[in-house]
Homo-oligomer: A and B are copies of this chain.
């Protein structure tokens, strides 16, 4: 268990801040904490996500085409299955861009989990997961 009073924080590049706002706030339902000229800071499922305006760091062309889940992505592992289900419903209703559809991984093993991967407008990949056995969340 993590401490509720602390926060993980992650900084990622954004091609355009309005676009990031649309994806994270209007789409994913995150809360906007602050907006500056060069960044927006978000309450992302209780942790802090900062989108920095850095179009030069956003992949395009071949680099974008080669985008894979590894080695770089982030997201939330939900303890309760219902929370993942609600996210999947939100993704469907709001037609958020899916990079890899929801599926079961490691079926029949202790590490078994359901996972879905989204892609934000700056090609950052977000993975949301739920493990059958919450001890496998680490």
Q: Is A105 an interface residue (CB 8 A)?
A: no
- Cα A89 to Cα B47 in complex, Å, equals 25
Q: What count of chain A residues pass the 8 Å CB interface test?
A: 62
> Which applies to chain A's interface (DSSP): helix, strand, loop or mixed?
mixed
The answer to whether residues A48 and B137 also contact, given A4-B4, A43-B31 and a CB cut-off of 8 A, is yes
User: Are B110 and A77 in contact, with the CB atoms below 8 A?
Assistant: no
User: Are B72 and A11 in contact, with the CB atoms below 8 A?
Assistant: yes
Partner of A9, one of B70, B74, B93: B74
User: Are A132 and B86 in contact, with the CB atoms below 8 A?
Assistant: yes
User: Are B89 and A110 in contact, with the CB atoms below 8 A?
Assistant: yes
| Interface 0/1 of A96-138, CB less than 8 Å to B | 0000000000001110000000000000000101001111111
- Measuring CB to CB, which residues of chain A are less than 8 angstroms from any residue of chain B? 1-14, 25-26, 29, 31-34, 41-43, 45-48, 52-54, 57, 69-80, 83, 86, 89-90, 93-94, 108-110, 127, 129, 132-138
